């Protein structure tokens, strides 16, 4: 035994330093989480578990690094990019935790230390991308790149790239720096722009196919698959005004109307090539703003090999796809949205990943990012692998990834895809294909805990971030904690409403009376969650037809059906989402391999009028607090007539905290006009038509009301007053209170001019009011 006591003392001194670092951070932040970390580090001291972590990451130049310094590469000549991150001021929120070395100096967050390595292996390092991956660094006054990866069962790991002709070389072999499987090497002389992969030698000594870096922030455009060394923090943000506004907002009482977009097919160039991030930034944010949307939701932008997967089967979770440009150009697109006051939501897929050989699949030759049990890892329906959501290093990878997009790209919301598959052990499996949990149930306990940890971590650092669950079952407390327990999301897609209503609009109006509850049932459970009403990409593909083509009837009735349906949707409590192309009535289903059919707007009048309708409907939503201020408060919605199935008419009230904002919706889902239709109203006073989807400007038949309506002291629909209206065919009529008579003070009875009304009719109305 050589110097055993010295080694033990050195390890103990490292533990004491880590303790001091944590205690120092605790005194500054008073964080409960930090206190927990202190106790964990203390437990390491007593159990000798610190042996699992190497505290000295070698910075010595190998013969390879020395030779690289003197070697001129003929295959690539990248330029050195100076890292000005320390001087730059950005609006990115930084962690308050400070780790200090033994001299009390703050340790660079990119340094691999015993403490952040420990947190990584515990599943608690939520900045894992700062130590793993490739990083331009200066170590011992030498500039180079540090490569670090996680391969717990590997016998050896090499970095290969255009700097060594992608050949294995002992001089480029990574050193194992933790028992948990972290490998690292610092190579002097390499610069930004070099392409690289990892070659993993598995536990049997066999060489694997070269692997892309799971933590790479830039990747080659498909079909190439190499990772690219890139500097993360050289972009200077100019969206502070938006960030400040977002941080002060009340997400539950603000308008949220989302435009869902697939960047590769929203528009294309004349030669059918993709628009770049730069081209998109010149057009898309302005269009979304003009159309009256508040947010854009981007289908997954992480690197993925197959266009037809739409991004939902990824390989590079930290790389914005190179199909449209580089990392900075994507940031420019986001900044342009923010400058237009548009929030940006990303679709994100932490449930499963694709099985391409260069990706995460069996990364070190064994199940690494996926479950070790085949029945759990295999996602048969999608042909993918499920993430091992109980493995600590996988949790560090995924939670860090969510926060990476928020911190580094200023993303305003994350829609978590396929939550149901993460919650259920038997998701898409037959009876004999799964094993119950330790309590005998079908709940994936690890998935539940992961989602709770994810939401807790994100919302602790970014309280106003939109965390949206695409959850298709009746799982309780997804976005609300009604009994003290919940998954921690703040919004959930209302898939039940979507399925019920889209089935209804296909039905011939003659038979709709037998399916009336498809429109009304959603209000029975509306306040159990914070719902978003989605008409997403999934509803306009695979033979389901486009939104306009789902509608019953001939050409006119199909467009009328879209108008009445979407205006009913706008009146229903909950935030909104609509997929691109629906706003101008594209008849063909969405195809990811071609542009939307924008030519329809110029060629056919009805498509142009439909686009105008959506534009004005969206702005009407923005301008009326009754449609969003009390979305999740029962006082914001009142049924007037929910059960008129014979005429397929719905009437209801939407309110804000101000009575003068009150709106009354009359939705007619048949192509029949009804005259002198009596409805109850809450106030004595004047009402006016503020939106009618049957307006000829939108392609309707023109059955509008231009008269001011005066309520009578005749109770109806459980309201103290009532009015008579003309109900347009296959349309929505929206009334707004214009003047309220309060405290029994009679309203002024000055002579008013009513369009399409003669003087005698006006006198009758005044007499009725008296």
Strand-strand pairing, 531-535 and 491-493: parallel
Q: How far apart are CA 184 and CA 134, in angstroms?
A: 10
Cα angle at 658 between 653 and 664, to 5 degrees? Answer: 20
Please report which residue ranges of 487-554 form alpha helices under DSSP H: 495-504, 517-520, 547-550
What are 706's two structure tokens? 């231009």
Q: Which residues are within 8 A (CB) of 149 and not within 5 positions of it... i.e. 6 or more apart?
A: 132, 133, 157, 174, 182, 183, 184, 198, 213, 214, 215
Q: How far apart are CA 330 and CA 232, in angstroms?
A: 12
Q: What are the residue numbers of the active site?
A: 417, 470
Using an 8 Å Cβ cutoff, are 233 and 85 in contact?
yes
Q: HSE (CB half, 13 Å, CA atoms) of 677?
A: 21
Q: How far apart are CA 644 and CA 381, in angstroms?
A: 42
A 10 A CB-CB count for 372 gives: 11
Closest CA to 210 of 222, 218, 200: 200
What are 669's two structure tokens? 């889902």
Q: If DSSP codes are grouped into helix, strand and coil, which group holds residue 678?
A: strand
Q: How far apart are CA 623 and CA 606, in angstroms?
A: 25
Q: How far apart are CA 607 and CA 567, in angstroms?
A: 17
Closest CA to 64 of 172, 197, 162, 215: 172
List residues bridging with 143 in a β-sheet: 138
What are 605's two structure tokens? 């009048």
């Amino acid at each position: 035994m050589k110097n055993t006591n010295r080694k033990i003392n050195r390890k103990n001194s490292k533990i004491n330093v880590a303790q001091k670092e944590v205690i120092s951070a605790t005194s500054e932040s008073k964080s409960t989480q930090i206190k927990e970390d202190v106790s964990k580090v203390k437990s390491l001291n007593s159990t000798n578990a610190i042996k699992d972590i190497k505290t000295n990451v070698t910075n010595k130049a190998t013969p390879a690094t020395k030779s690289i310094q003197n070697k001129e590469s003929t295959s690539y000549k990248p330029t050195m990019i100076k890292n000005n991150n320390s001087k730059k001021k950005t609006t990115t929120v930084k962690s308050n935790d400070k780790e200090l070395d033994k001299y009390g100096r703050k340790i660079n967050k990119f340094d691999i230390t015993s403490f952040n390595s420990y947190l990584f292996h515990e599943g608690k390092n939520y900045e894992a991308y700062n130590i793993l991956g490739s990083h331009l660094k200066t170590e011992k006054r030498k500039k180079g790149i540090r490569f670090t990866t996680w391969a717990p069962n590997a016998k050896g790991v090499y970095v290969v790239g255009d700097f060594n002709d992608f050949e294995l070389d002992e001089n480029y072999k990574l050193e194992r720096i933790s028992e948990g499987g972290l490998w690292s090497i610092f190579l002097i002389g390499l610069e930004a722009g070099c392409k690289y992969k990892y070659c993993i030698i598995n536990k049997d000594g066999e060489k694997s196919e070269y692997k892309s870096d799971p933590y790479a922030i830039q990747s080659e455009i498909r079909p190439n698959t190499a990772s690219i060394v890139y500097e993360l923090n050289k972009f200077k943000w100019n969206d502070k005004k938006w960030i400040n506004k977002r941080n002060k907002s009340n997400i539950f009482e603000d308008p949220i109307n989302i435009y869902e977009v697939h960047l590769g097919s929203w528009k294309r160039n004349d030669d059918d090539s993709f628009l770049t991030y730069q081209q998109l930034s010149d057009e898309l944010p302005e269009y979304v703003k003009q159309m009256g949307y508040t947010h854009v939701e981007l289908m997954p932008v992480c690197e993925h090999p197959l266009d037809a997967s739409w991004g939902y089967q990824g390989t590079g979770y930290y790389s914005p796809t190179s199909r449209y440009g580089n990392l900075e150009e994507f940031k420019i697109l986001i900044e342009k949205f923010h400058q237009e006051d548009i929030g940006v939501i990303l679709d994100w897929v932490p449930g499963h990943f694709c099985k391409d050989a260069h990706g995460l699949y069996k990364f070190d030759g064994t199940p690494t990012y996926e479950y070790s049990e085949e029945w759990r890892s295999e996602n048969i329906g999608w042909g993918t692998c499920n993430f091992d959501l109980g493995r600590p290093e996988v949790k560090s990878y995924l939670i860090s990834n969510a926060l990476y997009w928020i911190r580094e790209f200023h993303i305003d919301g994350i829609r978590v895809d396929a939550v149901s598959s993460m919650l259920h052990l038997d998701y898409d499996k037959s009876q004999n294909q799964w094993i119950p949990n330790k309590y005998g149930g079908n709940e994936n306990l690890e998935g539940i805990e992961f989602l709770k940890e994810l939401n807790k971590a994100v919302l602790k650092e970014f309280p106003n971030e939109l965390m949206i669950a695409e959850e298709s079952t009746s799982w309780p407390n997804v976005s609300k904690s009604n009994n003290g327990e919940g998954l921690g999301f703040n919004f959930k897609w209302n898939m039940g409403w979507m399925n019920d209503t889209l089935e209804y609009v296909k039905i011939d109006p003659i038979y709709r009376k037998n399916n009336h509850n498809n429109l009304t049932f959603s209000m029975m459970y509306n306040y159990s969650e914070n719902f978003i009403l989605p008409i997403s990409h999934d509803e306009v593909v695979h033979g389901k037809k486009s939104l306009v083509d789902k509608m019953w009837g001939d050409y006119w009735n199909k467009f009328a059906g879209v108008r009445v349906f979407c205006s009913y949707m706008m009146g229903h409590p909950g935030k909104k989402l609509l997929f691109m192309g629906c706003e101008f009535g594209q008849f063909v289903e969405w195809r990811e391999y071609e542009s939307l059919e924008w030519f329809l707007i110029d060629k056919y009048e009805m498509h142009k009028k439909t686009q105008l309708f959506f534009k004005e409907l969206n702005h009407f939503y923005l301008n009326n607090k009754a449609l969003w201020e009390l979305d999740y408060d029962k006082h914001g919605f009142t049924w007037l007539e929910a059960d008129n199935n014979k005429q397929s008419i719905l009437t209801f009230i939407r309110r804000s905290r101000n009575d003068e904002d009150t709106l009354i919706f009359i939705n007619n889902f048949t192509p029949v006009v009804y005259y002198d239709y009596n409805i109850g109203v809450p106030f004595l006073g004047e009402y006016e038509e503020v939106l009618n989807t049957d307006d000829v400007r939108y392609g309707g038949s023109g059955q509008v009301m231009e008269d001011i309506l005066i309520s009578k002291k005749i109770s109806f629909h459980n309201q103290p007053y009532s009015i008579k209206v003309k109900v347009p065919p296959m349309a929505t009529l929206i009334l707004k209170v214009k003047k309220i008579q309060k405290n029994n003070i009679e309203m002024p009875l000055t002579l008013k001019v009513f369009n399409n009304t003669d003087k005698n009719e006006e006198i009758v109305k005044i007499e009725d009011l008296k």
